[in-house]
Amino acid sequence: MSDELNTKDLAEVQHAFEVYTWTREQIAGLKEQQDQARSVIEAYLGDAEVGTLNGKERVTWHYREERRFDLRRARELHPEMVEECTETRRHRYFVPVGDES
């Protein structure tokens, strides 16, 4: 870690940090299970757009069109305009370091 950063020891909130880390690991495991279950359901649905369970609609799975701005292409075509319309924002990011994951 750089000496330039403002550093604070987490000893007083160690339990909270451990809870955060444990919870993060649990969520990752649950997300993996959710993704696997979703894949099974999607494969079963095939071309169907609605899945029912006991006569009730439980999932829909359909195509949706999205329009997105192609920033890479805009930079190629009009780099000066992209630069003129770009603003810089500053955000804080909470990032645990030293994770085994």
Q: Which domain holds residue 61?
A: 12-84
Domains held by the chain: number: 1
- For the stretch 29-38, pLDDT in tens is 999 999 999 9
In a domain, residue 29? The reply is yes
In a domain, residue 7? The reply is no
Residue 40 has a pLDDT of 98
In a domain, residue 95? The reply is no
How close are the terminal C-alpha atoms of the chain, in Å? 19
Give the percent of the chain with pLDDT over 90: 85
- For the stretch 37-76, pLDDT in tens is 999 999 999 999 999 999 999 999 999 999 999 999 999 9
Q: How far apart are CA 21 and CA 17, in angstroms?
A: 6
In a domain, residue 3? The reply is no
What is the rounded radius of gyration, in angstroms, for the C-alpha atoms of the chain?
23
